[in-house]
Amino acid sequence: MAQSLSHSLIALLALPLAAQAVDNTYPRVSMFLGTAPTIGDSGLQKVRESVLIGLEYSHPVWKGQVSAAVEWRQFRSRNHEITQFSPRKADGTTLLDGEQGALRTGYGKNSRGEIVNGYITAFARNPATNTPRPNGIASDMRFDSVHMAKYDINGGTSKLAYRQFFKVPYIDELGVHGGLTINFLTTAEASTGSVVVLDFRNFGQNSMTPGWTADNFNPAQGGDPRYGRLGGDFWYQDNTEMKIQPGAFVGVRAFANDNLFFETNFVLLSYSNPVYRPLAYTGKPGYVESVSATKMVWEFLAGIRF
């Protein structure tokens, strides 16, 4: 009697365990979501975080599974300054011809419509300032350059993979997988710029006088080349680009039970950025350049399969 009761009790306790056994012998559909921080350079987004959600179909083949997944990804990004200032001193003033490191790296149109070299200017400093600190920044927003840009990425990816299963103590089934990705990522650029190109830059130019004209740079016309204002480049750009690009991934999947799993992957994503190149940087009319890029992300996923 006691022996029969003990056998029944053991069988009863074993039932939940048997129900939780991982079964990879028939086709399964899974849903998953997770986060995927960027490893290494965060790129033009300047932020590493991203999230994804996806749907997978897997089919048993040989000793494992083949699987196909579709995913939606959203990357975070932030607005940041990317002004390509000409070389400048530690106090913020622009290096001039004859000074060590001076380079005329900017382009502007003079009053005759000619594209000429000059300095892309930062802020100037007031040498007479004592508070809040000596040599304080003097800005009137006329000659200070700024170029802000934000690059958003979102869109679809798909994974084609083979998964091999291994028996591991305390984990039961562990799936190791790898394969290809196909990326349908869209990058959107929001670029705003006000870039001023000068022959010369000092605090005195902040004086609001009628003498600061675009013609003053030409000594042949009796002007003083130190006070020439070549011109400015001002723009607001919204550009988008989507290209189908290949990639690859490798990872592992562990099962909490037959329906719940956790997964981590290293994924190489390829995409293309639209980047606006203004006249102030190139000396050519503004244009949009397609710049290819890649990201390595580390995925942490949780999913349910049916």
What pLDDT, in 10s, does the model give residues 203-231? 776 666 544 555 455 556 555 555 556 77
Asked if residue 306 lies in contact with residue 259, where contact means CB atoms within 8 angstroms, the answer is: yes
Q: Report the distance separating Cα 86 and Cα 43, nearest Å.
A: 23
CATH fold, domain 23-305, is Porin (2.40.160)
Candidate from 5-19, 162-176, 269-283 with smallest mean pLDDT: 5-19
pLDDT of residue 31: 98
pLDDT of residue 229: 63
The pTM assigned to this predicted structure is 0.82
pLDDT for residue 282 is more than 90? yes
Range with the largest mean pLDDT of 81-95, 98-112, 268-282: 268-282
pLDDT for residue 101 is more than 50? yes
Q: Are strands 146-168 and 136-138 parallel, antiparallel or unpaired?
A: unpaired
pLDDT of residue 19: 45
- Rounded to an integer, the average pLDDT of 192-202 is 85
Q: How far is CA 134 from the centre of its chain?
A: 38
Q: Report the distance separating Cα 142 and Cα 124, nearest Å.
A: 11
pLDDT for residue 6 is more than 50? no
Answer with the residue of higher pLDDT: 118 or 143.
118
